[in-house]
Every structure is written in structure tokens, then in C-alpha cells.
A and B are shown apart, each in its own frame.
Chain A
């Protein structure tokens, strides 16, 4: 009994790490699926029981590591409510697509938390990974209905943090984005029992 408890115990930091890992793979997957960078710069990697593609571009890699280390810290301190991956037309700075990753904070396992004297969850890691895999498959499936990006595009990640949050070095405040005539598609959610991750893609409806 005690062995199982230790087995299924997820700490706050572990949960944040799971979330950030998901974000890394989700962002890379979107970059690959939406064709923002040439496919030969991506490398296949086995994760969550499926093959996902990770960018080998040094710039993207450094950007993501910077972003995710800081985000993990913020998620740990419950400072972040949403991360938005926006795809921008470089020529006229128009936002064409927005992938919202809404982070919600949950209580976890109260009894176990009291026992451990810190906030912990008791969800099975395999189950979490299974849920994440479902979301990943949905992300891969979105390409069938998202509009074709026929211009030079780039991306940015906006972190919606609380106002009392300090702005670290190399970070700056940005304007919130708006997509005119947007269509929203809610993907599956998954939860680590401490954090709930909701993925929403909104794109410009072309008529």
C-alpha cells in the first residue's frame, strides 16, 4: 500500500515539468504541422507512445529552453494562467493563428498532501501520458481543417502572467493579440491532478 502511494505521488514541480514537457512537444508539433520551418530540420522522437517531431534548429531550441524554464518556474508559483503560441504573417504582422494553452491549478490529493506535508497529486503517470497522447493526436489532426498558410510566417509565445509577476531579463511586455473573425476549436484537456491543461486553437476564418 505504501509502495503504491510513493509510486503515484506527483509533486508540484514534477507536475510543472510534465506540463512544460507537453508544451515543448506541442509547440514543436505545431511548428512542424503548420510548416513554419522546413521539415528536414525536424527530428523524429518517440514520446507518449507516438512519434513526435522536434526541431533541430539551434535558435528554436534555445528559445524554447529559455521560455520553458521560466514558464516552469512561473507555473510552480501559480503565476501563469495561459500560454499563447501565435503564428504571425511576417509581412504585415497579422496574427493568423493562436494556440492557447490554458493552465488551471487544481488541489491534487488532499489526504496524501497532508501526509506528505506538501501539495501532491496521486494520478497515475501512465494515465496522464495517455491523455497527453490523445491531445497530441488531435493536434496532428488539426492540419485537416486549419487554413493553408501561404505567406512567410513566424511564431511567438505569449505568457499571460499575473500582474504582480516580475519581468525577468530578456523578457518584455507585449500586447494581447486579437484575431479578427476567429474560429475557435477546443481540443481535449488533460490533467496531472495538480494542473489542468486546456488546449484551444483559434484561427482566422477565411470565407
Chain B
């Protein structure tokens, strides 16, 4: 407990130092303080230790176990102490107790040292922190200082720049001032020049002004002259106008005179006209007198002409009759003409037929046949014979065909036989060659056989010689002879070989080569064929596969597919259409002799006929009534009125002397007007009186009638 109190005390002591660490950390004081504390703590610790020891030994063992380093020291101490002197048990006990106490103290001290160490470290850390903060502050101050310096420099630089600018501005200002002075001087000069020029201009303008005034005076004088001239001319103009007035009065007088002249001439013309009319009257009177004198003759003539007219009317009647007859005859002629034509044609035909018959007859006569029956019989016979002949010919032809067939078969057989023959010949040739070869072989074999025999003989001889005696020289000679013989035999062999085999061999080789080349060609051809056939086979395989696939598969479809439905529809339409056609055809056939339509047609025809008849009757009626009306008009009013065209009417009077004497009228919007004709020209008086004065056409016409009537009656009376 005391220890804890010490520690808190220590801390209390330490605290002010920690607080005032910034000022100056006094190391000596601290160390003294620690020492001071240390001593105190040591004393108090000893007391505590004693207390602790009093508690028991058991704990010391625990302490012993806990602290390791002191144990070692203890051991060293224990090792040293027993070496000096062997202690007594009490001493030993005491020593042990001391030792334990010392040890405890040591441990406590050590712990305290440790604690001190930690405090020191803490202090150090605190100081270091302080130092670090101070250093940082120092750095910050330095940085601030440098910043300030930089700013100072910047400000100085700016100052310098501003000074420069100021100097420059001053310089510019001076320059500009000099310039302006110069410009001012120039401008002054210019002003002086301008003033001089102004003076000159004013002088010159004054001169011009005086000249202008002179001109103006001249012009005023000219104007006055011209005004006087104008006045003179005005006087002349007044004179001229007075003259013109005189002229106009003269002209009016002239016009009056011409008007009078015209009126006089008009009067003169009227007078002349009157004179002419008077002359006409005179002439008319003369002619009337003449006519009156000729009246009797004229009456006679009239009578004669009337009789003539009657006769002519009869003649006209007769002519009509004759015309009718002529018409009838012509129709008859028309009917008869085709008959006549037919007659002519028939005659021509008859002639041709007769000539043909004659020819036939002559032909028959030449064949000895007189009658027609005999001719037919002969013809039958001829036909029969022809039939027989044709039958025979057909038979013959069939036979011919048979024969040709036979010939063909025979030919075929012959060809076969010749082929066989050729084959046989080839075989024979082969056989012959074989035989030839065999013969050669045989020859070879016989020769071989001969040579062998020779050899055999030779051996026998040799054998006999060797058996006979062994003479060296003779042996040698014999050997030589034998060698000779053998060489000869060899030669003979070679000759034989050369003779027999070489040509045959070469020939054989040649033939073989040819054959081989032939075979090769054939092989190539065959290869090509094979390739072709393979391609064909492949295509066929493909086809076959397809067919096979088709055969493997079966084709299915829905029964009510659109195609089938469409076909059904078409079929139905077709049937319907055919039905309709049938129906229509049937109705058409029935319609041929039917009930409804023909009746109607009949009715319509009847109607048509009746309406035609009606029309005809109406026409007749109309014409007759029109004629009647015209006749009545003619009889009552004495005028025959004919319509000559659209709105044109021609009227001729009953008492007119000739058909030339007619008048024409046209109908227009206002009424009816007379048109000028030759005849109307002769009726000038009537026209003037009735048409121009009274303006009445009926009056004019009746006056005309009256006049004509009086004229005719006057003539009759005379």
C-alpha cells in the first residue's frame, strides 16, 4: 500500500515537470529527485519486505520461481558463501532469511528500476514529441519566412516593373509631345497656305462676277429686241385671222349654192322620171290598141289551142295506160330473163353432153361394144380381171418377200460360214507355223543328236588311244586333234544357233512388241472406258439412291389440303357451269317453236303493219285534203300557191297569161314580203300603189286579179 502511495507521490512530483517540459527539462534535478525518492522508497520497501516476510515462507518460493535473474545471483552467492566457511544452522537460517529478504529487496529494486526505466522512456518519448513539435514549428516558421521572402522579392520585382513602365510612359509622352509639336507647326503652315489660296479665290471670283454681269446686260438687250419682234408678229397674226374669217364666210356661201344645185338636179330627175312614165303610158296605150286589134285572131287561136289541149290530155291519159303496160311487160321480161339464161345454159350443157356421149359411143364402138349393157358387162369383166391381177400380184409380192427373207437368211448363213472359214484358215496358218517351228526344232535336235554321237565317237577313240599306250607325243597330238574337233563342233553349234534361232527370235520379239503396244493402247482405251463407266455408275448410283430413298419413304399429305379443295371447287364450278349450259341450251331449243316470244313478235308485227297502214292512209288523206284545200283556195281566191322552199312561196294567178307570170313571197319574222321577180317588175304601178302606199298584200293581189280578169274579159269582149 505504501508503495502505491509512493508511486502516486512520484507521479505528482513528475506532473509539473511534464507540464513545464517546454521551458527547459533539467536533467540534474530529475536525477536528484529520483534519487531522493529512491531512498525513501528503499526504506519503505524494507519495511514492506519485513511485513511480507512475516506473512510466510511459502510466498518466497513463489517469488523465487517468478524471478529468474536473481536466482542466478543467489546461486553464485550460495556457491561462494559455503566455500569461505561452513555456517552454523542458525546462521545458515539467518543467512537464508537475509538472503531471501535481500532477494526480495533486489527484486523490488529491480522492478523499481524497471519502473524508473519506463518512466525515463516515457519522459524521453515526451521530450522527443516536444522536440518533434518544436522542430515542426521551426520548420513552419522557416517556411513562413521563405514565403515572406518570396513575396518580398515578388513585390520588389513588381516595383521594378512598375518603375520601368513609368519610365517608358514618360519617354512615350515626350515622344508624343514632340510629334504633336511638329504636327502643330505643320498645321499652322497649312492654315497660312489656305489663307493665301482663299485670297486668290476671292480675287478670281470677283473677276468672274464682273464678266457675268456684262453677259447679263447683253442678254437683256437681246430680250428687249425679241419682245419688239413679237409685237410686230402679233399684228400680222391679227391680219391673218381677219382674212381667215372672210374665207369661212365665202365657203358657207359656196355650200349653200351647192345645196341649191343639188335640189335643182333632184327636181330635174323627178321631172325626167315623170316624163319617162308618161312615155311608158303612151307605149302601153299603143300596145293595148294593137292587142285589141289582134283580139279576134287571138280568140281563134285560143279555141284552137283549147282543142289541142284536150287532145293532149287524152294523149296523156293514153300515155299513162301505155306506161302501165310497159311496166308490166318489163317486169315480165325481168322474170323471163333468168329463164332464158337457164335455157341457154341448158342448151350449152346439152351440146357438151351430146358431144361427150358421142365420144363415149365412138370409144365403145372401137372396143366392139354396141350397147350400154354390153359396155357395163365389159367393164365388169375388166374390173374382175384387174382384181384377179392385183390378187396375183399381192401373192407374188408376198412370195417375193418370203424369197428375199430366205435369201437374207442364206446370206447370213453364208457369212457365218465364211467367218468360220476365215477362223479355220487362221487356225491352219497357226498350225503351219507351228509345224514349221517344230520341224526346225526337229532339225536342231537331230543335229544335236549327231554332234553327241560324234562326241561319243570321239570319246571312244580317246578311250581306245589311252588304253592302247601312253606315248607323250602321241597324246599331245591326240589332244590337239581333239581340241580341233571340239572347236569345230562348237563352231557348228554356233552356226546352227545363228542359223536357226536368231531370225525367229527377232521376229518373235518384234511381234511381241507390237502386240504389247497394241495391248497397252487397248488397256488405255479400256481405262478411259472404265473412268467413263465409273462416272456413269456414280450418277446412276445417286439416282438409284434417290429412288431407293423414295421407295424407303412414303409420301403423306393431309387429305383436306388446299390443292384438293381448290380442285373440288373447280370441279363444282365446272359442273355448275355445264348444268347451266345444258339448261340454257334446252331453253333455247324450246324457244324455237315457243309460245310467249313468237306471240309477242306476231303481235308486234301486226301492230307494225297496222301502224304502217294507218300511216299510209293518213298520208293519202293528207295529200288528198291538201290537194282539195289547194284547189279550193285556187277556186275561191284565184291564186295557186306553191311552196318552193323553206319559207318561200310562189303564187300564180288564175287569169295569168303564162306560167312565167308568177310572184314570190318569203315569210320572215315581221310578216310576209314580196321578192323581186321579172313579172313583178312589170307591175310597178300596182306595187307602188298597194304595197308602198296602202301596205296591204291582199289588196295588191286582188287588184292584180281584177286587172288580169278585166284584161282577159276585155279581150274576150273584143
Contact = CB atoms under 8 A, between A and B. Distances in A.
A154 B570 CA distance: 11
Contact of A174 (B556, B565, B567): B556
Contact of B558 (A67, A90, A91, A165): A67
Contacts of B564: 156
6 smallest beta-carbon distances between A and B, as pairs = A154-B566, A156-B563, A154-B563, A160-B553, A156-B561, A174-B557
B210 interface: no
B555 A158 contact: yes
A163 B559 contact: no
A82 interface: yes
A173 B554 CA distance: 7
B88 interface: no
Interface string B543-586: 00000011011111111111111110010000000000000000
A155 B562 contact: yes
A90 B556 contact: no
Interface string A155-180: 11111111101010011111110000
A59 B566 CA distance: 12
Given A81-B549, A91-B570, A167 B556 contact: yes
A98 B559 CA distance: 19
Contacts of A26: none
B557 A59 contact: no
Contact of B553 (A66, A93, A152, A162): A162
B554 to A, nearest CB: 5
Given A60-B562, A157-B557, A158-B556, 15 more contacts: A63-B558, A63-B562, A67-B558, A81-B549, A90-B566, A90-B570, A163-B552, A163-B553, A163-B554, A165-B556, A167-B556, A172-B556, A172-B558, A174-B555, A175-B555
A66 B563 contact: no
Nearest to B551: A163
13 contacts: A63-B560, A66-B558, A81-B553, A156-B563, A158-B557, A161-B556, A171-B556, A171-B557, A171-B558, A172-B556, A172-B559, A173-B556, A174-B556
Contacts of B570: 90-91, 152
A172 B559 CA distance: 6
Nearest to B570: A90
Interface string A76-108: 000001100010101101000000000000000
Q: Which of the four size classes fits the interface of chain A?
A: 20 to 34
A82 B549 CA distance: 10
A159 B557 CA distance: 6
A195 B319 CA distance: 115
Contact of B562 (A154, A162, A170): A154
A152 B562 contact: no
B553 A157 contact: no
Interface residues of B, number: 19
Contact of A171 (B550, B552, B559): B559
A165 B554 contact: yes
Nearest to A31: B562
B392 to A, nearest CB: 53
B687 to A, nearest CB: 88
Contacts of B562: 59-60, 63, 154-156
Contacts of B561: 63, 155-157
Given A159-B556, A171-B558, A175-B555, A154 B549 contact: no
Nearest to B556: A159
B552 A162 contact: yes
Nearest to A177: B555
Contacts of A170: 558-560
A38 to B, nearest CB: 14
Interface string A46-83: 00000000000001100100110000000000000110
A93 B563 CA distance: 9
Nearest to A66: B558
A88 B567 CA distance: 10
Contacts of B556: 158-161, 165, 167, 171-174
B572 to A, nearest CB: 12
Nearest to A91: B570
A124 to B, nearest CB: 32
B316 to A, nearest CB: 81
A159 B555 CA distance: 6
B565 A59 contact: yes
B550 A176 contact: yes
A175 B564 CA distance: 13
Given A81-B549, A162-B552, A176-B550, A88 B563 contact: yes
A16 to B, nearest CB: 17
Nearest to A157: B557
Nearest to A169: B559
A67 B563 CA distance: 14
A163 B551 CA distance: 8
Contact of B554 (A59, A93, A152, A161): A161
Contacts of A172: 556-559
B589 to A, nearest CB: 30
A104 to B, nearest CB: 12
B553 A154 contact: no
Interface string A123-160: 00000000000000000000000000000101111111
B44 to A, nearest CB: 78
Contacts of A66: 558
Contacts of A157: 557-558, 561
Most buried by A among B550, B553, B566: B553
A182 to B, nearest CB: 13
Contacts of A175: 555
Contacts of B566: 90, 152, 154
A152 to B, nearest CB: 7
Nearest to A176: B555
Most buried by A among B550, B556, B564, B566: B556
Contacts of B552: 162-163
Contacts of B559: 170-172
A13 B563 CA distance: 30
Contacts of B553: 81-82, 160-163
